Structure 1
Amino acid sequence: MRRRELLHRGLALALALTSTAAVSQTVLPNFELERLELNPGAEGSLVVGMGELLPAGDYRVSLVAAYAHSPLLLDLDGEAFTIVGGRATTHAAVAYAVTDWLQLMLQVPMVFQTTGDLADTGYAAPSAFGLGTPTATARVGLLTQDEAGGVDLSMELGAGLPVGSAATLARDSGMLRLAPKLMVGRHFGFIRAGLEVGFMRRLRQRITQISSVAQDQIGNELRIGAAIATTGRRLRWEMNVRGMVPLTDQPGAAELLPGVRYLVNPTFEMFAMLGVGVGSAPGTPLFRMMVGGAYGDATPRRGPGESSVNCEPGLPHTLEECPDMDEDNDGVRNIADRCPTVPGDVARKGCSAQDTDGDGLEDMLDACPFEPGLAANQGCPLRDADKDETPDETDSCPNDPGPADNRGCPVRDTDKDGIDNDKDECPNEAGPPERNGCPESDSDKDGVPNRVDSCANEAGVSENKGCPGHVQALVEIRPGRLVMLGKVFFEPSQARVLPSSFGPLDWVARVIKEHPEMPLVVVGAHTDDRGFPADNRRLSQARAEAVRQYLISKGVPSERLQAQGYGQDRPIDTNATSIGRENNRRVEFIVVDPEQEKAGSPRQ
């Protein structure tokens, strides 16, 4: 009795010190009381992350109803002081895997009922109904266990949005609540285990102003969770332990939460949990219970070393997925049953003394009991994957159709020019390798290919460069250039072409016009080394332009000609003699290869 009087006096004194006016009740400060956190993806545990993520594109939507008994108790001189005696909430959660390594999650709690005996405390009771603190979370997968071993490892960052109801004790004061976590898990056959470690950032404050009450401190804390769960069955069990290590003066706490889950169908799961709390940290209940359901991609994946959940009766599955089942209930497991969907005899390896495919072999002796085939082929049909009427066993190219006389392979060189069809630009016409398998062009049909025919439009003989015998060809076509028989002469130190050069230049114009396969011809002019280099380059450029203009006047399209003066930079003979200098003073006609031009090859 004496202690209760001291408690009342202490509360009254706190009210007097903290109130600015004489009021009978004090409102509790803003803070989030709820400690229940769901694992929205929930492939391993309902409340503890095990490093797992949903497969890319999968989703899960959960709805949970929960009750926490006495989540907020204060103790003064050995007597319990009840702030919240009971709290009923619902939690909606959704998880969606954007990729195999990124999962987005959202949890939205709602408070539906809050009870407590505050009649003698001087504090106003919290509101019974209100929105909790929604939490948005992103989880990133770092490692994934596979058949070779390893672990599931992921990290996540959660943010508690400051939109909850302060009057319902469902919102922290003054700041965005952040909660980074690191999670690791592993499959051990039909058992899955995991551990998570997280940090909760929240404002440090007191719930009451009574200095002698030590349990009402809240602030930053470490949150640790561990879980063990069964796998591979529609009915699964799990055991979770969630604890809090305070980073302020508040006391620590832990909850033991066993749970059960049942997969109703591939898209719906029901679950329930009932557990107890240890410790007096605000938000830790004496006991907690919850029930709920999840919709979406609710069937867990088959992990390394696990059996498939789909092998449970009533769930769709494949024979390969469940090798240990006996699909036709004939006493022979699927993995050893030659006829897994038709009841048979153990002595016949699961087959009956019947001929299902009607090919004359009973099923136990038939390697292909559902496809008619030849006895010589153990009852299987002759396979012909490419449908070329050559059986695969004698087909050298079983995936590419071809004639039987070519061993079932396609004809690789249709035109017999030594170049395979996939590299032959003209697979139906024989041609040399230098033309990528295409035949030589011969416009005048004189047997001299256009590429060396100086008279491409007039029949001639090869000895005369493809021109008729009575015509003297003044231009020879060589690889990459036109060689003029004779020189181009200019007035001394001038760019004017002398008339004596008109004849050979007329032949150059004729050849260019008759050979459209020459898209660009560079007119290159050169000088000897007498004089200044800059003057020589200007003179050679002017002479190249003069020749180009002459060829244009003879009908050559301007876009097919380019003038280039090189001056004295590219001699072909010595400049120490008059004959050498004469040879260096020259005009060349370079045929530009379009393919080399695209590849950036230098012009000669």
Structure 2
Amino acid sequence: MKPFTALACVGTLLFHAASGHAQSATALDRLDPAPAGDRFTAVPSPEVLGHLRPLASLGLVYTDDPLTLVRQRGSSEDELLDLVSRQLTVHGSFAMELAHRVKVELSLPMIVHQAGDSASLPELTADPPAASAAGDLRTGLRFEVLRQQGHAPSASVGLSAWLPTGDDASYAGAGVFRVAPSLIVGADHGVLAWSTYVAARLQPGSDEPTLLGSELLFGAALGPRIGPVRLAVEVFGSTVLDRSVEPLTLASTSVNGLLTAGWEDGPVHFRLGAGPGLSKGVGTPDFRALGMLAYVPPADSHADRDSRADREASRRAANAHRRGDGEISGVGDQRNGPLAPALAGVSDRDGDGVADADDPCPDRIGDPNGNRPGCPPDRDGDGIVDASDACPDVPGVDSAEPSRHGCPGDADSDGILDPDDACPEEAGAASDDPEKNGCPTAVRLVGDRIVILQRVEFATGKDELSPSSTPVLEQVAKVMNEHPEIARVGVDGHTDSVGSEQANVALSQRRALAVVRWLVERGIDARRLEARGYGPRQPIADNATEAGRQKNRRVEFNILRRSDEGEAGWVDGDLDEGAGAP
């Protein structure tokens, strides 16, 4: 049981000629939850991950024996009564992130149940607390000064204010305006996150003494994340900043411990926690238990929506280049070599010595001893006579170009015949590697993916495209121009696991948007592009090694929808349910 104070010590200051109302004019609950969207419960986080991103949370907190009156006699203590034996408080919080730097928030506690004893002592007179009461409204502003870079943590400065909206007769409100500048430092390395903070909550003097005046607030939290589960251990507290009270003593300091386990899969997060009081300061309970529900949408979800409008304004129709096959011209009869002697009494219109009844080519002079007797020689059997076949020993196809007639096809016109071309539908370069011969050096169209063979590079930790990325993005634009049937491509950004997962998701989303903007500015219709940031959630290699982390930092182009209608099949907005690449 954590007592209020010792009458023989600090009690002479706090109880001197004090009425019950003066004594209860305090916000007793020592847990002031962090703003909605922060990763820990009592200790705020420094990161601001989104723009126009709304966040909300609702928590229920139970505290046992937060205010007990004792009398100290030498080294012993006599418990007199529980001024507040239990409290059940609902905490509601709403926050909004702006420009990836600023976070504003509102938070309001409501005591829905509390109980305690009345006091009638020479030193103190107090009525039982009200069963329910509203608390002080907290408003806050946070600015992220330094962003996490590798192992270097993030840092934010903040300013919170408490408006005297609470019932100051029921241990729910201080009855005066309070303000607290703060400093928050922390980092999220994916599997492990931590945060610390310190703040000075300043309370102007009032006409009557209260349980608590100005305070120094502090806290630290550490916790791993295992898939969607986040565990945490937190220590937080406060000490009275009053010249009449010795700070950092057991009686003037509240220290609390908290263990939490949370589920963070999707935008709805759930958390349970419990912990003991670790000191004898005012408001420190024997133990505390809580449950919290939060709405935390992915970072940049609204930034993405705003950017779609920007892309619409700059959208231009892409020029679709269709490749047509030339019509095949007929091959005239050729007389090759001496004619076979005429057959007496048998019809042989072309006079090649093969009776019309047996001649596949009765009107064309052919070789009676060839692989098709009666037809002109065709050594490769491709149906194109040798005399007109530019490749008489290699089966080929018809072509309007004499130099290509009878030769193997070259569908992409890159000079590499289809049988030898590893990418017959895409123009490429010659290579000694059979698997790369005739393939583009930067971009390939493979199934439902536009595979880039060179990396899309960005400035370190930023969403600025490096000039070295221009050639590969030009090839992506070329492929999309040449394939109007590609109606929607997901531009997917990925990162390694170093740093905050939420920060990595936000960075990958911004990088994907940067690629989309680049392609739109080069003429690709914005309806055909969709930016998607996955952060570290879809690794293709081991993040424990530098080589693996480098592979995981990537941009991918996935075909989400095809349409035979060309430009008419390019649609804006979300894809129909079940739509995708066939």
TM class, shorter-length: 0.3 to 0.5
Query: Greater relative contact order: 1 or 2 (C-alpha under 8 angstroms, separation 6 or more)?
Result: 2
Query: Higher Cα Rg: structure 1 or 2?
Result: 1
TM-score (norm: length of structure 2): 0.46
TM-score (norm: length of structure 1): 0.45
